[in-house]
Structure 1
């Protein structure tokens, strides 16, 4: 039974609402702090992320620490009922450090050391950088770990990137020694006999480089795994002095929208609570459904990383300054997009930024407080409305879980390996877009979804969808086989079961470990040009397909649809294999809409997966629910770009904002949302 989780911080047992705050940019104007505190309270904000990128203000010279401004800020917060996620400032080092200790700066894949500047331009392996970080974090912990205003640690900011310096080369070799033990094992795993790449001494190993080696796929995926592990090791280094001072304070590191560079399944194990930064490109099209479903997938992913409520650490209260077109949020969109995060499991809504920077690269990025400096703006009113709404929802929704019976499989090393594959369609096989395309069908149907890795426990799910599971090791294959045999429904697609965990092709026929479960053999995979198309008929309707067509032979699987054209017309395009007590479906080609919604509506009904609302939803309208096991909290959201009417089912509903009973139909304006208790 889904449970209610404890609040992220016992100090603040309500929805957290606030923003990144940079008082270090306003030390020349001390009156700004007093005014900001007034405006924070007025906007129903209760927490700020404080001190990100503040190293130069905390240590302007080596060994000279100036904490007085931070003391004043936190004391002012405590006196006014405000709280802080106190950040470590390691996301950008001060200029004096880069000048005195150039080894702290990153070396690129081209083996050229960077100049001082930008963010995250530092080596996670550098002994000097680690020493300086330990000193800074130790002093922060000593001074603030028990401060009444501090609710947790915000460690660095948006970890990412890699370094190829000598320290990192040595660390990579040691990582490989621990993994493989012998050069013989490494050479086999990387298939180094190809192109005479056999390694005869550990010192010969170099990280991937544009002027060196980039075509050994086993090495490439291992390098990316190493970068994740080294980044996590640095995170733990940062965290150690903080936890030593007060183990009760939670720590987090803000993650990013489907970020490619780090395996978040592994990173999530290190943090106490998952947080992430969401910046949708709203209003690019008439309907917001495509953008909304992409970010819904991300919300579900970040909730699923630890299987409990997460934090929306950054979002914009108005617009960004870095997207191709910086559109203003239309009326209603700020509340709708903020509550979308809550609907999918967030216990916070926070923004970048509180007050606009006066200069530099983010001076035109959205903020709660504009350059005009007062509260009489549309954006401030929108933020205040969200703050008021969160206060109304806290007693009911805070900490409620999500009861999903559908899982979608997404893995970072699979993603990396697909990108490296060099065929069958080098202009793009669109792994991420394909995963979200399958996900969107459930979003349109109003069915809650978890996102899981291929090694996850699948026993709680009635339906598991694993698109393009290219990298499938034997252990994961056995897990999927056992899941289907025990009565589960599995859907997978073309380009699955191709390579093992070392990016070596499975021998004996694709889809490798799933061949018996799926009851088929994949003989060839054809990439299609953008102007090419094929198609199939399923359940009485014709659907177009594109990009990839898998030529398969049934080995016991029932053929549900066949290709309609080309030399493989009449060959299977969709199959199902009854295996044990369950079913395994195989989609051999990338279909176009509306196939997925119709296909998954039928499968969900057969598998006994319930929709959040037991009625049909208009296109672009979705329903998501959180539950504590006794009550369900239903969010009906209109991303269609036009007013919509939604029929409710026969359950009894209460409006969470007004307390009024709701029956019959919901009228949703453009960008409208209704939040109900069932």
Structure 2
């Protein structure tokens, strides 16, 4: 059973509203709600006085209604009594300003009082509800990611540095503190990277971010272990929030949760599908690398617009289903939303919900109920999400942090560079995994490593081994330059990958905005360089593209039974897609379903082939039924489910295989839209309302 529901905050509502909620949840097919995320002040109104009777009734009522619970610990938002009693546990900004109560996440994760209080409330909940039949999942905290630079953090940071580096001499060497007279002679001199007059030390910044991640991970595991002590078989997780501001190494954390869970809020309608595919493949990669089989959970996303982030447009009809099922097809165990019922007040009162301020008579609720019915009709999800793709994109959050801290001659957005490669491959029809440095690379035939500024020794050896053992390794500009301490690898760029690639980058030459260089490329007729470019020589590699002045722009070097390719510039979409596609072709990797028209995407998972177009889910094909020749029953979901007869007729005299079935179905769809209408379930929806 796929999970469906979202955050539920019964402490905000009357008994009458809660009774209505139960009826609406049953009607919509909701089977899981997250309870208690921000209920600390209600659960513990005074220090040590716990008020849990109301939660007893909520859990009992949900269980009676057939709705499971992800029971949360409320440590993300300490109540006012705590912050008044422990002002030293309030977070301190980089500039020394101590934050005050009045929002959420106003705590220092290293403050002893905060640790003690957050663990105490977690233990109370675990002892009381470990055996409650409603509880299917434990949700620790919410969106770990709070920064603090206070004295508690300074003391803990020094201890963390001792464990990582040993003595002060090793720390000074790792951080190159001889630059600008920064050498430390006593541990008391070492502070968090607080506000300074000018540029900070990138190594200092990088280590502090690692420290913050580890500090929060310790806080999570302490609560997790308290829950496991009462309920050893409990499934315990926390919701990962994505973003460049988040000081969490999610690949490392993934090994400490029982189920990788993420929150995902796309930045805009135009990019929502691409961003959702990226987030899903990222979560699946973390899960698989951590030994969880690739299964993960979409813990939060929005029914429509969120609270902040510029102009928030409504999601057009069908996009709610399209995004949710896109996550399901890419391995999610369900689709959960923030939140079930829109809050009447508070900071996020205008964040959309499944039940809006006007009640359930709304397009959003009707679409949500329809989604619940679709999820209920799907086969049980397998324990592992698969199959593994043959193409992967390398993504390292610590590399991302290092690029953010670096003072480069031009701004580089590491995450955007990786996401762009992922999206271009996806749009070309390829199945793509996103892999962290700790992932098992066996089974991949193509590995794309974009802008990998930081490459440690283990990763460098791993990438070389991948190419030597037959893989097609694709490396782009800015890669291999620094080691694990953000120190430059001397001897010539690209540092750790120089010998593998058979080239030397001598200079960086970022182009000003608007300036372009058309390449002479063997793999593309229209590759245009922009942004970052480099001057290089390639004594040990074949040149596959040149700048207009004849300099090498891209290279390829055979190594073992594979190859290592290098691209020294940022390319336009067409040129970059051609470079990626040429490597896939050389590796013998086809698209999931070759020959699909632009805008139609196929995703294979759990014995099903999901096909999406601009209007949403087109069809879901059962691969086993196709193999058996059961064409009249092979389409199990989607807008074409009721056209089985026409599909069987269209397949007469054609070979019966999955690709032929899908192409025939897409052909039927194109015939249906000839009049300008798109079939959507049992209704017709004008093309103007279709998600873009």
Contact 1:429 1:547 in 2 (8 A): no
Identify the residue that residue 516 of structure 1 maps to in structure 2. Answer: 499
Contact 2:622 2:636 in 1 (8 A): no
Identify the residue that residue 437 of structure 1 maps to in structure 2. Answer: 420
Distance 1:330 1:609, change over 3 A: same
Quick one: distance in 2 between partners of 1:145 and 1:642? 40
Identify the residue that residue 582 of structure 2 maps to in structure 1. Answer: 602
TM-score by length of 1: 0.90
Identify the residue that residue 625 of structure 1 maps to in structure 2. Answer: 604
- Number of residue-to-residue matches in the alignment: 641
Identify the residue that residue 45 of structure 1 maps to in structure 2. Answer: 30
Contact 1:638 1:671 in 2 (8 A): no
Contact 1:549 1:588 in 2 (8 A): yes
Matched, 1:593 2:573: yes
Contact 1:15 1:398 in 2 (8 A): no
Quick one: distance in 2 between partners of 1:398 and 1:272? 12
- Give the counterpart of 1:304 among 285, 309, 318: 285
Identify the residue that residue 270 of structure 1 maps to in structure 2. Answer: 256
Identify the residue that residue 488 of structure 2 maps to in structure 1. Answer: 505
Identify the residue that residue 294 of structure 1 maps to in structure 2. Answer: 275
Matched, 1:553 2:532: no
Contact 1:445 1:617 in 2 (8 A): no
Higher RCO (C-alpha 8 Å, min separation 6): 1
Identify the residue that residue 154 of structure 1 maps to in structure 2. Answer: 139
Offset, 1:621 = 2.6
Identify the residue that residue 10 of structure 2 maps to in structure 1. Answer: 23
Quick one: distance in 2 between partners of 1:254 and 1:269? 14
Offset, 1:470 = 0.9
Offset, 1:672 = 8.4
Quick one: distance in 1 between partners of 2:96 and 2:42? 32
Offset, 1:454 = 2.9
Identify the residue that residue 637 of structure 1 maps to in structure 2. Answer: 612
Identify the residue that residue 305 of structure 2 maps to in structure 1. Answer: 319
Offset, 1:246 = 0.2
Contact 2:609 2:620 in 1 (8 A): no
Offset, 1:626 = 0.8
Quick one: distance in 2 between partners of 1:192 and 1:201? 13
Matches within 5 A, 1:273-422: 273-283=259-269, 288=270, 290-307=271-288, 308-373=294-359, 375-395=360-380, 399-422=384-407
Secondary structure, aligned partner of 1:379: helix
Q: CA RMSD in A?
A: 2.3
Identify the residue that residue 592 of structure 2 maps to in structure 1. Answer: 612
TM-score by length of 2: 0.89
Matches within 5 A, 1:126-275: 126-211=111-196, 215-259=200-244, 260-275=246-261
Matched, 1:58 2:43: yes
- Structure with more of its chain in helix, by fraction: 2
Offset, 1:144 = 0.4
Contact 1:486 1:582 in 2 (8 A): yes
Give structure 2 stretches of 5+ with no counterpart: 289-293, 648-660, 682-692
Identify the residue that residue 61 of structure 2 maps to in structure 1. Answer: 76
Distance 1:359 1:534, change over 3 A: same
Quick one: distance in 1 between partners of 2:617 and 2:119? 54
Quick one: distance in 2 between partners of 1:642 and 1:104? 47
Identify the residue that residue 35 of structure 1 maps to in structure 2. Answer: 20
Offset, 1:165 = 1.6
Offset, 1:645 = 12
Quick one: distance in 1 between partners of 2:57 and 2:274? 43
Quick one: distance in 1 between partners of 2:228 and 2:619? 51
Distance 1:602 1:151, change over 3 A: same
Quick one: distance in 1 between partners of 2:621 and 2:54? 55
Distance 1:331 1:404, change over 3 A: same
Distance 1:78 1:441, change over 3 A: same
Identify the residue that residue 652 of structure 2 maps to in structure 1. Answer: none
Quick one: distance in 1 between partners of 2:260 and 2:565? 33
Contact 2:3 2:336 in 1 (8 A): yes
Quick one: distance in 1 between partners of 2:678 and 2:145? 34
Quick one: distance in 2 between partners of 1:148 and 1:167? 40
Secondary structure, aligned partner of 2:464: helix
Matched, 1:665 2:674: no
Offset, 1:671 = 9.2
Offset, 1:420 = 2.1
Offset, 1:253 = 0.9
Contact 2:608 2:621 in 1 (8 A): no
Offset, 1:211 = 3.1
Quick one: distance in 2 between partners of 1:498 and 1:97? 46
Quick one: distance in 1 between partners of 2:58 and 2:456? 52
Quick one: distance in 2 between partners of 1:84 and 1:172? 37
Quick one: distance in 1 between partners of 2:393 and 2:295? 18
Contact 1:397 1:633 in 2 (8 A): no
- Give the counterpart of 1:544 among 494, 505, 528: 528
Quick one: distance in 2 between partners of 1:306 and 1:645? 27
Identify the residue that residue 4 of structure 1 maps to in structure 2. Answer: none
Stretch of structure 1 that moved more, 647-656 or 110-119: 647-656
Quick one: distance in 1 between partners of 2:620 and 2:117? 57
Quick one: distance in 1 between partners of 2:304 and 2:122? 33
Offset, 1:529 = 1.1
Identify the residue that residue 3 of structure 1 maps to in structure 2. Answer: none
Offset, 1:644 = 9.6
Contact 2:301 2:336 in 1 (8 A): yes
Contact 1:510 1:523 in 2 (8 A): yes
Distance 1:255 1:644, change over 3 A: closer
Stretch of structure 1 that moved more, 477-486 or 662-671: 662-671
Offset, 1:647 = 13
Contact 2:456 2:483 in 1 (8 A): yes
Offset, 1:597 = 2.4
Secondary structure, aligned partner of 2:125: helix
Offset, 1:656 = 2.1
Offset, 1:74 = 0.4
Quick one: distance in 1 between partners of 2:210 and 2:200? 16
Contact 2:342 2:357 in 1 (8 A): yes
Quick one: distance in 1 between partners of 2:336 and 2:558? 47
Quick one: distance in 1 between partners of 2:50 and 2:559? 66
Quick one: distance in 2 between partners of 1:182 and 1:100? 37
Identify the residue that residue 650 of structure 2 maps to in structure 1. Answer: none
Matched, 1:529 2:508: no
Offset, 1:475 = 2.1
